[in-house]
Structure 1
């Protein structure tokens, strides 16, 4: 019989805490609170009417077991004199060590996450359908996570397998004699229901209990998930409103006597500063953040005591009043394991609720702070062993050279809407689909969210000679979307450009990366669709003709209208080619060598007015 996740977790903690337990047996019964016993994995208990519960949280890990490459592996830190310092951060060896160090001296500690633990992962995890990441999350004692949109990248069946275990249905077991055990922690899908049953796909909530303390966790992802994942991944599922769902299950928990509740929400906001340690509550509570999470936070029932959020890959610790006017923390810890949030929840044993009369983001009950997962601390040995084991399996694929670069080529970390790496990817896609038998593309467009990293000259400190390996290329383009070429009129193409900065994308523009020869002006001093200067749109120097038909290449995600681009669904005469990753690696091989490495493009195809 296969052990349950709860039993596996208990066995692991009993084993890891054997020395602690041995020491605890020497403590007399009189020294312990009535009814208390020694903890099996973390420190013991506390007396008194209130007890401080340490909530450690993070989000958007995306399978980054090794330190993220390039700017994806750094955070900005405001110094006492007001200047900014860039700090290298991230990597599960350091995240595990940080969390374990943080737990010391905290009798009541729970670790939670806000989704996207997997998906869009580097090759070390993605090659094995993210089993290595789930194994790592088990080892660092993650207690619970909400589901994120990227958990649906491979569909509902694969998400269920990650939760329950079992070998991959097509690729089988990756190690001889080992069967994937699944997650020890629950994935919560409160607002994701099965169309046939009407019930949540997985558990909607869970209750963490420790020596009489009970805290409920409700997990949701953004309602708009179907708009940003491939349709096949969410077929047969409905995504419900975040606020309505959280409020519904907060009532359920309340009826069960659970008065302390934390919402894990895979939706986020945009902070006023890129520095992780800026004051979000200056000049007033919540003034330093905007975006979807602000309205969600204002509407979620006061029964919820804290909101742990994600999705936007930003860092913030904010205080936004609940509907009753009571202050409540809203936090996010950037992405890729570069930060973790520590929130103190003061639990009242008499009422079973969290005391947050004086909650602030900087002090008092309910205080929260983001901490850097810096790389100067010791590595967690068990995570080093895990990475080594999976790297050995991945090496034949991951270490194959596919190209050379002269210096870093910014992608995810670019400071402008058009990135040099975005230009490279778009050029690669056009080249792969230009031949008549490959689609006959005249131009290519790439969604910025599909470029997951920079292309670093010295990736993760492994090499410094500009060699690009297949594993590094995979980190940039991990989705392996198939390429499609379709007919679009000039009018339809203009509409697609306008959808970058209007409709669903007006608040947070999604600027498509464009292939060489396609140019236009983006005027951010205007609003909505007017930000695209119509007369500036040109292909190979010729003005875009609204009545003319153009062959446009894009990945299948965009072709299906993903990321708020419904205009692409109207494309005619589609042609399916190879994957975007194959196009990218082929381009790197064809256009670079050790003697003539690829240099970053100028990124001057989109003229920005701001």
Structure 2
């Protein structure tokens, strides 16, 4: 199954084949010392990869090490969808049972070609959180069971590991029993230690500067081949933007240290211990698109090269941005395998047993192909049984019909935004939140939600029915909805904050419409102009309004600081329950759920 990928590049010093990616000229000078080079993966399966057919002569005396990585699984036990890798898009990719098989195939091929048993399986954070019901209703312990069955050895923290507080994540990581108030489904589910060693170097307790729960800043793995030994260091990183990505109560006890400074610090610690080959697993974003690789991970590695020009970091497993990446920043290769188990990265690394340094790193990213695209590859039965068991346990709750749509058509979410960053599922969510606050007699004017909280399309089945599971997949967090008082000026500020970070974070809005136009300020792409309510009345800067937001936004989440500290009027309940209740009410009043018209944001010239 050979893909039709076209080779891509961002910047090179010279043309040629470097560590498994073909580069061509296209200068983008980063600095005198740090180049960023990007390439596209050309094959859908590692068994077709020319570089994985034999060991290069220059590496025959080296120790071969394979790193198999995933990121941002989000409890997607049976999640499928399109995945874009390079300039090729694969349909219906995913599920952990197929991922497990592909990881096993990749490991078998590596062993056959290199005669090496040195394979590390690493996950780069957000393994849980914002998940479908067969993970979330079981407190994500089903996902931990699947990871254990897939033999993952090392992991780091993402922001979603904090969704219910780090103590709860540590409980499911180590297989401890839940508390007395836990749901019966959770209490009855088997509790098992995942066996994953958590490495996170830049999260420390505020009280004593120690890493919580005995997690380690790094691990040292000894690798052996043909009587030769070497050591590999693995440094783990949380994103330093954690405070803007989770509730205050969940991170208030911790400090998150600068990523680059942390890498430089522990790179030196490892080298002082005789470890000259270092891997970083970091929950920081990156993407390779249109021959360019950008993102926080690139910036971090540039800074690392300034702080420690002689660093030993040869491979960086990135995460968080849910995008494809395969690039090289300075001497460090960077990969990211999209998200929700639709892809995986496979890096063949060679270590000189005398110097302990990487002599060659060959990274690639591959899709988890559907059974239609690769019928000869079958699901891993042990993992499939875990998913089947989880489905059975939550089936009654998940399949409960809560309402009906006007048409038997999926109401699409944030993966299907229009040009103005509006999506039907997201606006249905905020319409429901406005309705819920009205029902609670809190007299709201408007409702806003962060689009990152709208996690999925709203699936409508052939009978036009909407199930509990479908609704919860859209709103899985259970954030508390609050009604706050805001001036029109603060509302304008919040809307403008959508456009100050290249629209990385944006809002779904209800109860108002606005126009916006392009700005001459390079730090503010657009400016909001006219804001009106649903009756056509102007929203004025000096007037006060009541606005429904979740507690994540109220804490300044996603860097929407305009919401932070606004006066609380009252609480509505959880966003999950409010959305479910809205769909139920729409149906009980003989109305059908209809996708909103996407006309709330208008770009003007």
Q: Is the Cα contact below 8 Å between 2:401 and 2:466 reproduced in 1?
A: yes
**Residue in 1 aligned with 2:449?**
446
1:412 deviates by 2.7
Q: How far does the alpha carbon of each residue in 1:466-496 deviate from its partner, in whole angstroms, 9 at most, with x for none?
A: 3221112111111001110011111111111
* 2:217 pairs with 1:200: no
**Aligned counterparts of 1:270 and 1:419: Cα–Cα separation in 2:** 23
**Residue in 2 aligned with 1:263?**
280
Residues 260/602 of structure 1: CA separation in 2 closer, same or farther (3 Å cut): same
**Residue in 1 aligned with 2:152?**
142
1:508 deviates by 4.1
**Aligned counterparts of 1:191 and 1:382: Cα–Cα separation in 2:** 35
1:441 deviates by 0.9
**Residue in 2 aligned with 1:310?**
319
Q: Is the deviation greater in 297-306 or in 174-183?
A: 174-183
Residues 537/329 of structure 1: CA separation in 2 closer, same or farther (3 Å cut): farther
* 2:68 pairs with 1:65: no
**Residue in 2 aligned with 1:74?**
82
2:362 pairs with one of 340, 356, 367: 367
Residues 525/310 of structure 1: CA separation in 2 closer, same or farther (3 Å cut): same
Q: Is the Cα contact below 8 Å between 1:450 and 1:479 reproduced in 2?
A: yes
* 2:337 pairs with 1:343: no
**Residue in 2 aligned with 1:209?**
222
* 2:252 pairs with 1:235: yes
1:574 deviates by 2.1
Q: How does 1:8-407 map to 2 (within 5 A)?
A: 49-68=61-80, 73-76=81-84, 85-105=89-109, 106=111, 107=116, 108-169=118-179, 170-171=181-182, 174=185, 179-201=190-212, 202-211=215-224, 212-273=229-290, 282=291, 288-300=292-304, 301=308, 302-321=311-330, 327-355=331-359, 365-376=360-371, 377-405=377-405, 406=407, 407=409
3-state SS of paired residue (1:533): strand
**Residue in 2 aligned with 1:543?**
538
3-state SS of paired residue (1:392): helix
Residues 219/49 of structure 1: CA separation in 2 closer, same or farther (3 Å cut): same
* Number of equivalent positions: 521
1:568 pairs with one of 563, 567, 590: 563
3-state SS of paired residue (2:499): coil
1:176 deviates by 7.6
Q: How far does the alpha carbon of each residue in 1:90-140 deviate from its partner, in whole angstroms, 9 at most, with x for none?
A: 111111111111111322221112111111111111112211111111110
Residues 178/496 of structure 1: CA separation in 2 closer, same or farther (3 Å cut): closer
**Residue in 1 aligned with 2:41?**
none
Q: Is the Cα contact below 8 Å between 2:480 and 2:551 reproduced in 1?
A: yes
**Aligned counterparts of 2:504 and 2:568: Cα–Cα separation in 1:** 29
Structure 2 residue runs of 5 or longer lacking an equivalent are: 1-54, 372-376
Q: How does 1:416-455 map to 2 (within 5 A)?
A: 416=418, 417-435=421-439, 437-455=440-458
**Residue in 2 aligned with 1:26?**
none
1:565 deviates by 1.3
3-state SS of paired residue (1:394): helix
Q: Is the Cα contact below 8 Å between 2:325 and 2:335 reproduced in 1?
A: yes
Structure 1 residue runs of 5 or longer lacking an equivalent are: 1-44, 274-281, 283-287, 322-326, 356-364, 459-463
1:499 deviates by 1.6
Q: Is the Cα contact below 8 Å between 1:208 and 1:216 reproduced in 2?
A: yes
Q: Is the Cα contact below 8 Å between 2:499 and 2:526 reproduced in 1?
A: yes
Q: How far does the alpha carbon of each residue in 1:356-389 deviate from its partner, in whole angstroms, 9 at most, with x for none?
A: xxxxxxxxx3121110001213111111110121
**Residue in 1 aligned with 2:514?**
520
Root-mean-square deviation (CA, aligned residues, Å) is 2.4
3-state SS of paired residue (1:521): strand
3-state SS of paired residue (2:546): strand
3-state SS of paired residue (1:171): coil
1:339 deviates by 0.6
**Aligned counterparts of 1:319 and 1:91: Cα–Cα separation in 2:** 29
1:603 pairs with one of 586, 595, 598: 598
**Which structure: greater strand fraction?**
2
1:229 deviates by 0.4
Residues 440/306 of structure 1: CA separation in 2 closer, same or farther (3 Å cut): same
3-state SS of paired residue (1:184): coil
3-state SS of paired residue (2:237): strand
3-state SS of paired residue (2:549): strand
**Aligned counterparts of 1:593 and 1:256: Cα–Cα separation in 2:** 67
Q: Is the Cα contact below 8 Å between 1:297 and 1:307 reproduced in 2?
A: no
Residues 482/536 of structure 1: CA separation in 2 closer, same or farther (3 Å cut): closer
**Residue in 2 aligned with 1:36?**
none
3-state SS of paired residue (1:591): helix
**Aligned counterparts of 1:473 and 1:176: Cα–Cα separation in 2:** 24
Q: How far does the alpha carbon of each residue in 1:265-285 deviate from its partner, in whole angstroms, 9 at most, with x for none?
A: 101124334xxxxxxxx4xxx
TM-score normalized by the length of structure 1: 0.81
**Aligned counterparts of 1:177 and 1:130: Cα–Cα separation in 2:** 13
**Aligned counterparts of 1:178 and 1:511: Cα–Cα separation in 2:** 37
Residues 543/271 of structure 1: CA separation in 2 closer, same or farther (3 Å cut): farther
1:254 deviates by 1.6
1:235 deviates by 2.2
* 2:586 pairs with 1:586: no
Residues 404/475 of structure 1: CA separation in 2 closer, same or farther (3 Å cut): same
Q: How far does the alpha carbon of each residue in 1:561-602 deviate from its partner, in whole angstroms, 9 at most, with x for none?
A: 111112212322420111111111112222248997533222
1:208 deviates by 2.6
3-state SS of paired residue (2:556): coil
**Aligned counterparts of 1:250 and 1:548: Cα–Cα separation in 2:** 54
TM-score normalized by the length of structure 2: 0.81
**Aligned counterparts of 1:141 and 1:224: Cα–Cα separation in 2:** 30
